[in-house]
Amino acid sequence: MDKDSQGVGPYTMKRYRREFQRLDDFMANRFVFFPHEITQESVTEYRAGWIEHYQSSATRSDVQSRLRGFFRYLVDTRLIDRSPVLAPIRVDEPPTLPLTEAQYENLLGTIPLQFEFANKATRVRALVQLMRHSGLAVGDAVALKREELVEDSRKSLYRITTSRQKTGTHVSVPIPSDVAKELLAAMKLNPNATYIFWNPRLGGTRETVVSNWQKDLRKVFRAAGMPEGHPHQLRDTFAVGLLEKGVPLEEVSKLLGHTSIKTTEKHYAPWVRSRQERLDSLVLATWVKA
């Protein structure tokens, strides 16, 4: 596949394969076996069934973007004369919001009250702190390896050095010393020699283990008075905190492991504007004469 040669991450490749297998199955059931046999009507019918597989309008929009790319490839390679028309999909979901400092502190304070065993609370708190201060998505955080918590003796700090599952991008992020201590404590509670939070010997796939941790995190959000709270808000809090302190968007994009700055702009445009307004106010303040 052409995408394999573009350095696309394994997580994204998995999505491409899944989505195009569905397209292939759909067309085969209608005895369509070659690209030039695909009609506008069949594509419209195919898209109409997406809600069964992709309940999120944002996900459907992303799937359509990949489908458009596929048809562009067919046009470029002259396998078809022109691409079918795909009307835009309206994304009606509000963006995930970062946590305020008060919300975050409340979240941490709630954790010990939600779990019967102190060891479990210690591990949940360490996971929350990790996501907030590294920008890791929950899947990458749960599957973090011990060797990816690296002590940087030259700078007297610890850093998270990993490749993001979704993009395959190598990322290195320093973390506060107190967060590192919590991670080291959580590590001691896991007998597995490879991972900090995951013990494959207990059974279950990576997806199942991540799903179980997500349930724990949502439980904490609800108990903290945020019933719609979501683990991804911890990653958003990391990103927005950097932007509001004037860190360039390009650098934030790298720390998040995005392969394109356009992805970062798409998700964090409102805070890019607020960052610019803050910078403007600083410049304007220099105009005031003593």
pLDDT tens-digit readout, 218-255: 999 999 999 989 999 999 999 999 998 888 888 999 99
Q: Report the pLDDT averaged over residues 156-161.
A: 94
pLDDT at site 94: 63
Residues 80-112: tens digit of each pLDDT? 988 998 888 887 766 668 999 999 999 999 999
Q: Report the pLDDT averaged over residues 171-175.
A: 92
The β-bridge partners of 172 are 161
Judged by DSSP in three states, 80 sits in coil
**Range(s) for CATH 1.10.443.10 in the chain?**
101-230
CATH superfamily of 101-230: Intergrase catalytic core (1.10.443.10)
Does the pLDDT at position 270 exceed 90?
A: no
93-104 burial: b if 16+ Cβ within 10 Å, else e: eeebebbeeebb
Residues 115-132: tens digit of each pLDDT? 989 999 999 999 999 999
